Amino acid sequence: MLDNIRSTVKNALIYGLGNISAKLVGFVLIPLYTKNFSTAEYGILGVVEITTQIFIVLFGISLYSAFFRWYWDKNYIRNQKSIFFTILVSIGIASLMMIAGLWFVSEDLANFLIEDVKYAYLIRLMLITAGLEALAVIPATLMRLQEKSLLYSVANLIKLAFSLTLTVYFIAFLGKKVEGIYEAQIIGNIVYLLFLSQFIIKNITFRFDLSILKKMLVFSLPLVASALSGLILNITDRYTLRFLTNMSEVGIYTLGFKVANIIKVFVVNSVMLAVSPLIFKMMDEPNNRRFYSKILTYTTYVVLPVILAVSIFGKEAIKVLSQKTDYWNAYKIIPILSFAILFGMMKDIAMTGLHLMKKTKTIAAVVFTMMSFNVLLCVVLVYFWQSYGASIAILITQILYFITILRFAQKQYHIPFEIRKIIKMIITIVALCLIAKLFNSFPLYLRLITKTVLIISFPFILYFWNFYEEIELDRIKGAWYKWKNPLNWRQNIKGLKF
C-alpha cells in the first residue's frame, strides 16, 4: 500500500506543477488587477469567473466523471479509445449548441449579472472560454487516467505562458479591462488543445459508440445536477454579496477568496488529480479500503500546515498583493475560507464509497440539500455581516456537508477512516492559529519568525500525541536519512521514476 501512496505523492508533485499553471494566472496577476482595476471592476471579474464555472459544468454534462468510471472498468477496456472519441464529440456538440443559444441573449445576461449591457461582449467571451474549458477537461482527464503527469504539467505550463503573457500585454499595454483576461484565456486554451492534438489523435478510434454513451449519461446526468448544486454551493457567497451589497464588496471578498484558494489550487487539486484515478483503479484490489482510509488521513496531514500558513500570514499577503488600502480588509475572511476548503476536500474523499457503488442519485440529493441550506444561511449572514457572514456560511455548510456525506457513504461502503487522528490534527492547527494571533501586534521580523516556528511545530506536536504508526515513523526516518544531504539530491531525483 505504501508503494501506491508513494506513487500518488510523486504524481501529486508533478500534477502540482501543471495544475497551478491553470490557476496561476489569476493569482500572479492579482497585483496587476488591483493596480488597474477598482474594487468594483475586480468585483465584476469575480462575478464573471463564477458564472464561467457554471457554464463549464453545463457544457461538460459531467461526462468526465463517467469517463473516470468507465475507463478502467474491465468490461470496457477494449472500448477505451472509442469512449474517448464519443465523449469528445458529445461535449463538442453540446457546447456549440448551448453557446449558439446563449449568444443572442448576451445583452440580457450582461444586464442581469452586471447591470450594464455594454458588457455583452465580455459575456460572449465568457461563453467561448467555458466551451473550450469544458472540451479541454476530457484530454486532461485521459492524461490523469493514464498517469501522464509530466505531459499534463507541460501542456498546462504552455497554456500558462500564453495566457499570462497575453493578459499582461492586453491590460498593461493596451489598457483593456476584464475582457482582456478572457481574450487571453481563449487563445491559451486553443494553444493547449493544439499542443495535445497528437496525444488526442493517438488515443482515438473514430467510432461513435451510442450504446455506451447512453449508459454513461445515465451515470453522469444526475451528477450534472450534483455538480451544479455543488458549484452553486461554492459560489453562492459571491452572488449573494453581488445582489445584497455592491460590486466593491464582491471585489474585496474575491481577493480574500483568491488568497485562501491558494490552498486548493496549489495543494488540494494537485493531490486530488493524482488520487482520483487511483481510487477507481484500486476498486477491485484486496487492500483498497485501508488505502482509501490513509488517503484521507495523509491528504489532511499535508493540507493543514498550508492552511495554517495561509491563515496566519493572510494579512501580510494581502498588503503585498495590493497597494490600495481599499482591498486590505480582505484578510479577515482568509482563515474561515481556508478551513472551509479543508472540509470540502475531506467531503470529496469521504464520497469514495458512493462513487464506487454508483450511488450518484444519493450524491445529487445530498448536494441539493446542502446547496439549499447554504443559500438560506448565506442570505441571512450576508445581510448582517456582509463578507464575514458569507465566509462563515460557507464554513458551516462544508462541515455539515462532510458529516452528511460520510454518514451516507459509510452505509453503502464502509471505509475505516481514521477520524480520531483527523480531529487531533484539526484541533492542533486551530490552537496554533489562535496562538499566532497573539503575535499580530509584534514587529514584522518577530512575527515572521514566530509564525514560521508554529508551522514547523505541527508534525512534532502530533508525535507527542502518539499520532504516527511505527511503520510511518520508520518511513519518515528513512526519508530523512535519504534526503538530509543536499549533495545526494541529484542522485535521488534521478532515481525517481516518472
Mean pLDDT along residues 158-175: 93
Does residue 283 or residue 183 have the better pLDDT?
183
Q: How far apart are CA 394 and CA 397, in angstroms?
A: 5
Q: Amino acid identity, residue 43?
A: G
Query: Cα 118 vs. chain centroid, distance in angstroms?
Result: 31
**End-to-end CA separation in angstroms for the chain:** 19
Identify the burial level of 52 via C-beta atoms within 10 angstroms of its C-beta, where 0-12 means exposed, 13-18 middle and 19 or more buried. Answer: middle
Residue appearing with cell numbers 495554517:
308
CA dihedral 294, 300, 302, 308 (to 10 degrees): -160
Residue 460 grid cell: 512534532
Query: Cα 184 vs. chain centroid, distance in angstroms?
Result: 21
**pLDDT, position 3:** 55
| Res 361 pLDDT > 90 | no
Mean pLDDT along residues 428-450: 91
pLDDT tens string 135-160 = 999 999 899 888 787 898 889 889 98
Does residue 269 or residue 16 have the better pLDDT?
269
Strands (E), 17-63: none
Report phi then psi at 438, rounded to 5. -65, -20
Average model confidence (pLDDT) for the chain? Answer: 88
Q: Is 38 left (phi over 0), alpha (psi -120 to 50) or beta?
A: beta
Residue 440 grid cell: 499580530
Which ranges in 357-486 belong to alpha helices (H)?
Answer: 360-412, 419-437, 444-464, 470-483
Query: What percent of the chain lies above the pLDDT cut of 70?
Result: 93
Identify the burial level of 92 via C-beta atoms within 10 angstroms of its C-beta, where 0-12 means exposed, 13-18 middle and 19 or more buried. Answer: middle
Q: SS3 for 34?
A: helix
Which helix or strand (DSSP H or E) is residue 234 part of? helix 210-244
Please name which of 277, 341, 332 lies closest in space to residue 146, comparing C-alpha atoms: 277
- What does the angle CA 393 – CA 435 – CA 463 come to, to the nearest 5 degrees? 100
Please name which of 481, 482, 424 lies closest in space to residue 458, comparing C-alpha atoms: 424
**pLDDT, position 11:** 54
**pLDDT, position 239:** 93
Query: What percent of the chain lies above the pLDDT cut of 90?
Result: 59
Q: Dump the DSSP string for 141-168.
A: HHHHHTT-HHHHHHHHHHHHHHHHHHHH
Q: How far apart are CA 493 and CA 147, in angstroms?
A: 19
Contacts of 368 (CB under 8 A, 6+ apart): 225, 226, 229
Q: Is 121 left (phi over 0), alpha (psi -120 to 50) or beta?
A: alpha
pLDDT tens string 208-258 = 989 888 888 888 887 787 777 778 888 899 999 999 999 999 999 999 999
Do the beta carbons of residue 249 and residue 43 sit within 8 Å? Answer: yes
Q: How confident is the model at residue 400 (pLDDT cuts 50, 70, 90)?
A: very high
Residue 184 grid cell: 487571453
Q: Dump the DSSP string for 180-227.
A: HHHHHHHHHHHHHHHHTHHHHHHT--S---HHHHHHHHHHHHHHHHHH
| Res 17 pLDDT > 80 | no
Q: How far apart are CA 407 and CA 400, in angstroms?
A: 11
Do the beta carbons of residue 265 and residue 20 sit within 8 Å? Answer: yes
Residue appearing with cell numbers 458512493:
354
Mean pLDDT along residues 251-275: 87
**pLDDT, position 20:** 57
Q: How confident is the model at residue 498 (pLDDT cuts 50, 70, 90)?
A: very low
pLDDT tens string 82-123 = 989 999 999 999 999 999 999 999 999 999 999 899 999 999
Q: What is the pTM of this model?
A: 0.78
pLDDT tens string 458-493 = 999 999 998 998 888 888 887 777 776 777 777 766
pLDDT tens string 51-71 = 999 999 889 888 888 887 788
Residue appearing with cell numbers 491553470:
22
Report phi then psi at 207, rounded to 5. -140, 120
pLDDT tens string 286-334 = 888 988 999 999 999 999 999 999 999 998 899 888 888 899 999 999 9
Q: SS3 for 246?
A: coil
Percentages helix, strand, coil for the chain (3-state, rounded to 5) are 85, 0, 15
- Domains of the chain, by residue range, sit at 2-475
